[in-house]
Structure 1
Amino acid sequence: MRLSVIGCGYLGAVHAAAMASIGHEVVGIDVDARKIASLSAGEAPFFEPELQELLTEGIASGRLRFTTDMAEARGAVVHFVGVGTPQQKDGYAADLTYVNAAVDGLIPYLAAGDIVAGKSTVPVGTAADLAERVTPTGATLVWNPEFLREGFAVKDTIDPDRLVAGVPAGPEGERAADLLREVYHPSVTKGTPFIVTDYATAELVKVAANAFLATKISFINAMAEIAEVTGADVTTLADAIGHDVRIGRRFLGAGIGFGGGCLPKDIRAFAARAEELGRGESVAFLREMDAINMRRRDRAVDLVVQALGGSVFKKNVTVLGAAFKPHSDDIRDSPALDVAVRLHGLGAWVTITDPQAIDNARARHPQLNYVADRDEALRGADGVIVVTEWDEYRRQLTPEHAASLVTGRVIVDGRNCLDAAAWRAAGWQYYGMGRP
């Protein structure tokens, strides 16, 4: 099937490459000429495991190409829209500028029977508004939200745990759902749940999933705050309640909280949209979740200050991690970078290392010191803080080896990903988040 993907950022580039890998003919379209040049050369403009291989294979096969010319969308049967919906600069609501521009730019090239499949995360009600502009062309709008995890985006696209299609009522909606089933034929054939619903439900599925995940993470971080004043251990607490099958252990890891380009802005936009609908009280708890999340960054900084005797002024502090999560070079709203910048502001000499995100971090915060080699970054440190749980830090770095490099054996575990007993046994002062 011929497909177009409008927007070749994180979502769009992965989707285009993944669709080509399962046999479709795909054209990716974006206004950013530099990004398109990189993708056309088979070079991923960001780090995502397996994406580089898919790009190389797709371009070599002739099934995948990229362009800045929207007219190249003509002739595709399904047009995926995967542009960004950032937080508005003057508020918490989602900025739909790019979504509106993408759909308006696509409309002149639509033909009767085409499907426009929105994948961007949007406030509920957006699809209905866009459908009023798409329908007169004879095309049908569907809403097909993405559920990608950075670091696992290729797998989540090719082998998702569910597929959701918000379609209009009637025969055109049924036909649109059938076309999407064809697009995702490998997943549908293997029995992946394919949920057909209305626009509003499809839009809410995405934001509700993000809100629930943010709530679970924030809940255990709230418990960490209580543990810190009572002497309890939040990791043992999480293990104990996680055995309850109604709760589960996943995402009950207390630490410095979540970040990235999705969860923070999506829960804020959800709360803002609920207020616009006159139901702000229904999701008022999301404001507190956001506040809990931000407080954990404060706590991480406080722990470093405490560990280094009450001041970090002119102390060498090594920050292990810059990306907001491992297996990514994404620094958008990164708790790791936020903590590093705050320590720098307190007068510390901050050195940051990360396996993938140094270039992005340096471009955003050039005032900090960056060292690619982990061991070199640790050399001479008065204190260390782990803020991104890369295997290079949580599994491959032993306390004995680290001790041979640093000046002071002080470590703050911002992700509770280290073996506290092992580090203390090696002579380190270990400080965890919500741990004695």
Structure 2
Amino acid sequence: MRISVIGCGYLGAVHASAMAELGHEVVGIDIDERRIAALAKGRPPFFEPGLHEILTSATATGRLRFSTDMADAAGAEVHFLAVGTPQAAGTTAADLRYVDAAFESLLPHLADGALVVGKSTVPVGTAARLAARLTEVAPHASLAWNPEFLREGFAVKDTLAPDRLVYGVADDHAASVLDRVYRAAVEAGTPRVVTDYATAELVKAAANAFLATKISFINAMSELADATGADVTALADAIGHDARIGRRFLNAGVGFGGGCLPKDIRAFTARAEELGRGDSLAFLREVDAINMRQRQRVVDLAVAALGGSVHRKRITVLGVTFKPESDDVRDSPALDVAVHLKGLGAEVVATDPEGIENARLRHPQLDYTSSTQEALRGAELVVLVTEWREYRALDPVATGRLVAERRIIDGRNVLDAAAWRAAGWQVRGLGRP
């Protein structure tokens, strides 16, 4: 099929490359000339495992090309809207200016029978509004909403082999077109939910809200564990055996971040208030508050570990991205902790396998090094805040030879505390005795 993808940021670049990998003829459109130039040369503008391979493969075959001219989308059968919806300035609501601008720019280029498919995470009601606009200006085209469920670090896999497909459609024809787009996944038996616009929009918002709630729940339990001497990891193992609860995402730590989850739950709450149903999602404000509180708890642990003050103390921060296998530092708990410690007068040295350049752009006041060994050398305290595989695999004996003092804060509860203590380390975690 001939497909256009409007917006070539994280979502759009992955989606365009994956659609071409599946055999479609794809054009990616974006107004950012530097981004388009990089993608056209097969260079992803961000780190995502597997993306470089499918991007270079697809561009080499000619199935994938990029442009800054919306007119190049003309003639496509399916147009995916993959534009960002950041948090609006001065409020918690989603900023839909970019979605609306892309949609309006696309309208003059829609061929007869074209299907516009929303991928962006938007407040419920957006699809119905855009569908009404489409009926008014381009009645020869139709709209569907097909939310994305990408996990950074696994986005290529999640696009090529999704765990479910959700179609928000107004008729069976739109669903049949999407079945053609996702033929490989449909034929593989991927669960498929065909529903209305509002439900499709709510599926994405509800999924993010539930995940955020689960993470903040176990972090709240870690606060109680600290107050009572209990072990939150053993607690999570025990309740995770309950099939109704499950063990995944019950890992206490410094909390969630990134460019999606925090702003999406805030936008969900704001939309509920606009609909006069603010009380129904009032609990998400506490979910957000618990999450933000975890960052301060890690800072407090660092201060306590150094005797009440971090002033002029050399602290190594392991990780600046919000999660491993990503270079994304947006709303990163790890980077937030590093900046807080620096603000308290510590001599902070931060390291990360992929996120240093993005972190330096946001917080140049920190000292950075790409070498883990260099970062550890002479440290009076180590703070692990992004659970990259290489940090989880650090040898406590060898690491102990590099540092000045054997103290570590495990902000993700991923280390074998007994092994580290046996090597002479003072180890503190969140909700662990």
TM-score interval, normalised by the smaller of the two chains: over 0.9
* Equivalent position amino acid for 1:425 in 2: A
Letter in 1 for 2:400: A
2:430 maps to what in 1? Answer: 433
2:406 aligned with 1:406 = no
Residue 155 of structure 2 is aligned to residue 158 of structure 1: no
| Superposition deviation, residue 384 in structure 1 | 0.3
Q: 2:414 aligns with which of 398, 413, 417?
A: 417
User: C-alpha separation between the residues in 2 aligned to 1:162 and 1:367?
Assistant: 43
Counterparts in 2 of 1:117-266, with a 5 A limit? 117-135=117-135, 136-137=137-138, 138-168=140-170, 173-266=171-264
Partner of 2:354: 356
User: Can you list the C-alpha shifts for 1:93-116, whole angstroms capped at 9, x where unaligned?
Assistant: 000011000100000100220000
Between the aligned partners of 1:49 and 1:271, the Cα distance in structure 2 is 32
Give the AA of the match of 1:402: T
Report the RMSD for the aligned CA atoms in angstroms. 0.5
Q: Give 1:8-87 correspondences, 5 Å limit.
A: 8-87=8-87
Residue identity matched to 1:213: L
* Equivalent residues of 2:257, 2:322 under 8 A apart: yes
- Which amino acid in 2 is paired with 1:154? V
Structure 2 Cα separation of the partners of residues 345 and 129 of structure 1: 45
Q: Can you list the C-alpha shifts for 1:306-336, whole angstroms capped at 9, x where unaligned?
A: 0011100000000000100000000000000
Question: Matched residues, percent identical?
Answer: 70
Equivalent AA in structure 2 for residue 204 of structure 1: L
Structure 1: distance between partners of 2:111 and 2:44: 31
2-structure distance, mates of 1:15, 1:283: 31
The one-letter amino acid of 2:382's match is V
Q: Secondary structure at the match of 1:411?
A: strand
Paired residue secondary structure (1:145): coil
Pairs aligned (count): 431
SS at match of 1:318: strand
Q: CA deviation at 1:193?
A: 1.1
Quote the Cα distance in structure 2 between the aligned partners of 1:279 and 1:371. 48
SS at match of 2:121: coil
Which position in structure 2 is the counterpart of 1:303?
301
Quote how far apart the aligned CAs of 1:372 are: 0.2
Q: Matched residues in 2 for 1:183 and 1:313: separation?
A: 57
TM-superposed deviation, 1:134 = 1.7
CA distance in structure 1 between the aligned counterparts of 2:130 and 2:244, rounded to whole angstroms: 38
Unmatched tracts of structure 2, length 5 or more: none
Contact 2:88 2:95 in 1 (8 A): yes
Give the secondary-structure state (helix, strand or coil) at the position aligned to 2:365: coil
* Distance across 2 between alignment mates of 1:26 and 1:42: 14
Determine the C-alpha separation between the residues in 2 that align with 1:287 and 1:50: 35
- Which whole-Å CA distance do the structure 1 matches of 2:408 and 2:233 have between them? 17
Displacement of 1:132: 1.3
Comparing 128-137 and 57-66, the one that deviates more:
128-137
User: What is the distance in 2 between the residues matched to 1:134 and 1:61?
Assistant: 34
Stretches of structure 1 that go unaligned for 5 or more consecutive residues are none
Residues 365-399 of structure 1: CA deviation (Å, up to 9, x unaligned)? 0000000010111000000000000001002x110
For residues 237-278 of structure 1, the C-alpha deviation after alignment (integer angstroms, 9 at most, x for no partner) is: 000000111100000000000000111000000000000000
* Whole-angstrom CA distance in 2 between matches of 1:84 and 1:98: 7
Map Cα deviations across residues 150-188 of structure 1 (whole Å, 9 max, x no partner). Answer: 0000000000000001011xxxx2111100000000000
Deviation at 1:15, TM superposition (A): 0.1
Q: Distance in 2 between matches of 1:420 and 1:55?
A: 41
Question: How far off is 1:65 after superposition?
Answer: 0.4
Give the CA deviation at 1:219: 0.2
Give the C-alpha shift of residue 194 in structure 1: 1.4
Equivalents in 2 of 1:203, 1:58: separation in Å? 30
What pairs up with 1:320-339 in 2 under 5 angstroms? Answer: 320-339=318-337
Mapping 1:349-388, distance limit 5 Å: 349-388=347-386
**Superposed displacement of residue 17, structure 1:** 0.2
Does the residue aligned with 1:26 lie in a helix, a strand or coil? strand
Is 1:6 equivalent to 2:3 in the alignment? Answer: no
Output the CA distance in 1 between the equivalents of 2:101 and 2:202.
22
Letter in 2 for 1:3: I
Report the Cα distance in structure 2 between the residues aligned to 1:134 and 1:14, rounded to whole angstroms.
Answer: 26
Task: Quote the Cα distance in structure 2 between the aligned partners of 1:331 and 1:246.
Answer: 33
Distance in 2 between residues matched to 1:303 and 1:100, nearest whole Å: 45
Q: Distance in 2 between matches of 1:308 and 1:374?
A: 22
Distance in 1 of aligned mates of 2:228 and 2:263 = 32
* SS of residue in 2 equivalent to 1:260: coil
Q: Is the 8 A contact 2:408 2:427 kept in 1?
A: yes
2:76–2:111 CA contact under 8 A, matched in 1: no
Question: How many Å separate the matches in 1 of 2:28 and 2:133?
Answer: 22
